Structure 1
């Protein structure tokens, strides 16, 4: 049976050529596995013959490539499963009044680009020349363009575009990231773009980083808890070790170590003053070791705020005045932590409390935002310095305001006023008409 979509042309009208193809495209493009039917029509039922690209007649009435008779008007050439070897020129011929006529079309088999042999992750050591491989295969043969950080890569002193890759001269850590190998295929009537992402890792020994909010000088106090954290970039990712007094620090009841891919945190419960001193953070991978010293000094635990008061509430916020304690020669107060929790009974459940951290401001006035309306809140405040937080201030309670709906009485009064005005206007019009 003929495939779907075959159009039967009317070819017996005067002036029309004795042979025609439907569809009439001179070039037909398909992908492997697809199907197509091309029908060859003649006037007055003349015999038609289809020929392969090598000139041999297509005689099979069934199979992957075969011919079918179309109502004594010609023959259809049927492709049920197109393959790469099928590409070429196919010709239909007929003889009318001892004269041979031919019509041909070219079958182009397009194989979409594939990157089957291209590694998704490619690595090189720092300072080496690196060749990124991109094995783009397809027919027509795809042309390649490279992109890095969303920008095209051109031939220059840093990059050289190769047939199957991209040469990067003397790679640095900044060359790490995701590269895009974009393959472009252009055929007679269509074009296709396909991309493949390649993650580039530049192997290097660990390098320590300075992160905002973290310091190499840390303060603590006996009975307090302190965290020492070091950050290091490395490829492969580093292993971390901590040392004090040339001895490796190991976990215990008072010591915990939390390692991530590129950072390590040493948490210390300061039981006594022997825990103060210099700590060495070591970051290690196969390319080398890097060390960093963090100093833990004894400081004072801050006193609670001298004053917390002047609480004022709106429907969703509470504003308060916080006066820091006097510090003298001790570590200066750098901020406050305001704890707050909805109060369901006479006693607040501080285990469920939320908190907001504030830096010291000259105005001494601070505001909690995002609270629930018409709710009792318990509030207390801690001072903060470089060594940690103070004990909490005395608990205070304040209720947020209730959101008021628009007054129905006011709306009714307004409507009544409008109605009275309209009535007076109507009466005036009637009076004027009676006078006239």
Structure 2
């Protein structure tokens, strides 16, 4: 009888282990779990290179768990060391108890091994993705090209690898779509695989620069299985030197007896050769180095001299030449002076909180740089102009120019923002540079409009572009933000009070 009972118990135990993988637990302290050690790749990589050896370990927590490995196709991996892929069983410990460990061993991984592998113990399953690639390498790719302006060119980029890489082109961090008449992308097939092409027509100097070819490998079934490599291709467009001048003569301001630099930096390729001349035609290299110093770094030339009575109002010419042509730039050294008093202030436009002024100087013989303006303004309260002492209590605002070169005075616009709706103001302005400030201008009277007037105006009545209004001083913007926050707080408080009284009722 005992023999029959033992045989039945053994049969039930074997059946339970085969079907369920674990025995029934009788103690709460027993823990059943399944864990796979993550696949470790080389630093900066998210894949295994085809041909390497790899082992992935799956651990159970209970000695009666039966562990099994299945490939991405759902096939059981067998314990046959003669196979390229096999499993190897070991016994480890978990919380001082014996626990099973099953290693998945690859003698050398292949591309077809990419996918999701599973370790199973009864109805428990743990997955681990495996990524295998032959990483991309660029072949027969020319990394620097020079071509004459006006011509067309096709840049070529090819990368080998498995999976087949996809080629993309970038410039200045932006993907080149390349679907217009000027620039387009295409591919062709040769003995290395698919070759990426970027065609640029009618080259201009602006087309020169660095282009990036990016080769990307992906497995659609695995989001984490991808690899990208990039290479730079420098396109040099050959063209003659060209100075982007705003005026025929570039004015350089300097303080007396201070060193000053005249920088000659044309756009050109290849780099030009430079020569400096005085206004009388003399080549400066024939003079003593004590008077000046010329420094060339290939792309530009700098004339360094001391500003004094012998150099003020004198002209210097930089001549740049390469095999495609030549160009010249003329400099005139002027003594730095404080800005003169503004001769005229006109009102260009107005809104409900902003007035735009145009300022000019009439004396064309005076040259001075202007870096910004200071503005005083008072709300009109009397019939006449404010007394001098009233300006001591005026609001003050600074406006900095973005372009600090010599400018055409009649095109200079100055905004005054943060004003009250439909209100008249007295306004004074003065110019600022490194040497000081100009005297205050004569007061002018200006007024903002009402919102009703603005609603009745046509769009053409607003000559101020949005790009200009974006440069309005922060003072006006901060007032608007403050008012908006204040109104929002009032609305929230009023709503809370209403809800309180409703609940009381």
The TM-score by the shorter chain falls in which range? 0.3 to 0.5
Q: Which has the higher strand share?
A: 1
TM-score by length of structure 2 reads 0.41
TM-score by length of structure 1 reads 0.46
Larger radius of gyration: 1
